[in-house]
Structure 1
Amino acid sequence: MKHLLLALMLLLSVSVKGIGITHGPWICDMDSTSVTIVWVTDKPGLSWVELAPEGSDHFYGKARTRYYDIFEGRKVLTDSVHKVHIEGLKPNTKYRYRVFTQEVAEWRYDDWVTFGKVACTDVWRGKPYDFTTFPAHPREITFLVLNDIHERAQFMKELCKNIDFNKLDFVLLNGDMSNRLRSQQHMMEAYLDTCVQMFATHTPLFFNRGNHELRGQFADYLYRYFPTRNGKYYRLQHVAGIDFLFIDSGEDKPDEDIEYSGIVAYDQYREEQTRWLRSLREEHKIGKYPLVVFSHMPPTLENWHGPYHMQKTFVPELNKMNVSVMLSAHLHAFGFQKPNEIINFPNLVNSNNTYLLCHIANGKMDVDYVGLNGKDKKHFTFPLK
Structure 2
Amino acid sequence: MRNILLILYVVLSLVAAGQDAKQGVAKEEILRTNPYLQNPTNAGITVSWQTNVPCYSWVEYGLDTAHMQRAHTLIAGQVISNNKLNKIRINDLEKGKKYYYRVHSREIIEFKPYKKVFGEEYVSPFYSFSLPTDGKEEFTALVFNDLHQKRELMDALIKVVREGGVEYDFVVFNGDCIDDPSTEAQAIESISYFNDRVGASSKPVIYIRGNHEIRGAFSMDFTTLFDYAGGKSYGAFSWGDTRIVMLDCGEDKPDDHWVYYGLNDFNNFRREQVEFLNAEHASAAFKKAAKRILIHHIPLWNSPQAAENETDKYQPCTEMWGDLIAAEPYNLILNAHTHRFASFKKGAIPVVIGGGNTMNSASVMVLTNKSLECYNTNGEQILNLEI
CA distance in 2 between counterparts of 1:166 and 1:103 reads: 39
Say if 2:376 is the partner of 1:378.
Answer: no
Instruction: Work out the CA distance in 2 between the residues paired with 1:154 and 1:191.
Output: 14
Counterpart pick for 2:74 among 70, 74, 83: 70
For 1:136, which of 127, 134, 137 is the aligned residue? 134
Q: Map 1:233-248; keep pairs closer than 5 Å.
A: 233-248=233-248
Q: Distance in 2 between matches of 1:91 and 1:291?
A: 21
Cα–Cα, structure 1 residues 304 and 197, in superposed 2: closer, same or farther, change >3 Å?
closer
Which letter maps to 2:340? A
Matched letter for residue 359 of structure 1 = T
Alpha carbons of structure 1 residues 334 and 120: separation in structure 2 relative to 1, 3 Å: same
User: Partner of 1:162: helix, strand, or coil?
Assistant: helix
| CA–CA distance in structure 1, aligned partners of residues 120 and 152 of structure 2 | 32
In the TM superposition, residue 72 of structure 1 has moved relative to its aligned partner by 4.2
Once the two structures are superposed, what CA deviation does each residue of 1:227-266 show, in whole Å capped at 9, x if it has no partner?
Answer: 1242101101111110000011111111111121211111
Greater alpha carbon shift after TM alignment, 28-37 vs 267-276: 28-37
SS at match of 1:286: helix
Amino acid at match of 1:116: F
CA distance in 2, matches of 1:167, 1:303: 35
Q: Distance in 1 between matches of 2:367 and 2:109?
A: 48
CA drift of 1:194 comes to 3.3
1:201-235: CA deviations, max 9, x gaps? Answer: 11111121111011111111122221124210110
| Structure 1 contact 244–291 (Cα < 8 Å) conserved | yes
- What do you get for the CA RMSD once the two structures are aligned? 2.5
Aligned mates of 2:381, 2:124 — CA distance in 1: 41
Unaligned segments of structure 2, at least 5 residues: 1-11, 303-309, 357-361
- Which stretch shows the higher mean deviation, 100-109 or 79-88? 100-109
1:136 to partner: Cα distance: 2.2
Aligned to 2:372: 367
Partner SS, residue 160 of structure 1: helix
The separation in 1 between residues aligned to 2:62 and 2:133, in whole angstroms, is: 18
| Cα displacement (A) at 1:300 | 1.5
Counterpart Cα distance in 2 of 1:210 and 1:327: 13
Structure 2 equivalent of residue 358 of structure 1: 367
Equivalent residue in structure 2 for 1:101, among 93, 97, 105 = 105
1:26 has 2:42 as partner: no
Match of 1:182 in 2: 182
Contact 1:249–1:296, Cα closer than 8 Å, also in 2: yes
CA distance in 2, matches of 1:143, 1:304: 28
Given the alignment, which residue of 39, 42, 48 partners 1:38? 48
Report the equivalent of 2:305: none
TM-score normalised according to structure 2 size: 0.85
- TM-score, length of structure 1 as denominator length: 0.86
Give 1:25's aligned amino acid.
Answer: P
Cα distance in 1, alignment partners of residues 170 and 98 from structure 2:
15
Instruction: Report what 1:116 is aligned to.
Output: 118
* C-alpha displacement of 1:346: 2.0
**Matched AA of 2:295:** F
Name segments (4+ residues, structure 1) moved above 4 Å: 10-14
Task: Return closer, same or farther for 1:93/1:376 CA change in 2, 3 Å cut-off.
Answer: closer
Q: Which residue of 1 aligns with 2:63?
A: 53
Aligned to 1:215: 215
Q: Deviations over 1:55-94 (max 9, x none)?
A: xxxx3x45x2110022344211242110001100000111
Q: 2:329 aligns with which of 318, 322, 340?
A: 322
Stretch deviating more after TM superposition (323-332 or 114-123): 114-123
Choose 80-89 or 159-168, whichever is displaced more. 159-168
| 1:23 partner SS | coil
179-188 or 281-290: which moved more?
A: 281-290
| Letter of the 2:109 counterpart | A
What is the rounded CA distance, in whole Å, between the counterparts of 1:28 and 1:99 in structure 2? 15
Cα deviation 1:257-308 (Å, max 9, x = unaligned) = 11212111111111110111112234545211021000111001254255x2
- 1:98–1:120 CA contact under 8 A, matched in 2: no
Aligned position for 2:263: 263
Task: Decide whether the 8 Å contact of 1:174 with 1:207 is kept in 2.
Answer: yes
CA distance in 2 between partners of 1:16 and 1:118 (Å): 7
Alignment partner of 2:160: what SS?
Answer: coil
For 1:378, the aligned partner's letter is: L
- Per the alignment, residue 8 of structure 2 pairs with none
**Percent identity at matched positions?**
23
Q: Which runs of 5+ in 1 are unaligned?
A: none
How many residue pairs are counted as aligned between the two chains? 357
* Alpha-carbon distance in 1 for matches of 2:299, 2:169: 24
